[in-house]
Structure 1
């Protein structure tokens, strides 16, 4: 069962939404970049976890 990658991808979606919201509200650039990077890391982790490989 692939629960963790699903949770990571859901988290990535929330973080992308948060990044967009911060950007639209005029938050400091550093905050937008940090949340955006966390979104990228969560997406990468979720996708890489789903790739076939040794178990």
Structure 2
């Protein structure tokens, strides 16, 4: 499950990069960035023993 969360986080970080390049609103960039951070934190916490 941790690997799936890290893959999801990678897709979301890529989405943040594309949103910044396209000049999206700061709210949408922040929202997707927060979801990426949550997915990364979930992957780290899931991989702990």
**Which has the bigger relative contact order, CA under 8 A and spacing at least 6?**
2
Q: What number of residue pairs does the alignment pair up? A: 49
Gaps of at least 5 residues in structure 1 are none
Q: Which residue number in structure 2 is paired with residue 19 of structure 1?
A: 16
Please list every run of 5 or more consecutive structure 2 residues that lacks an aligned counterpart in the other structure: none
The TM-score with structure 2 as length reference comes to 0.97
1:38 to 26, 35, 46: 35
Q: Calculate the TM-score normalised by the size of structure 1.
A: 0.87
The structure having more radius of gyration, on CA atoms, is 1
Q: Which runs of 4+ in 1 moved over 6 A?
A: none
Greater percentage in helix: 2
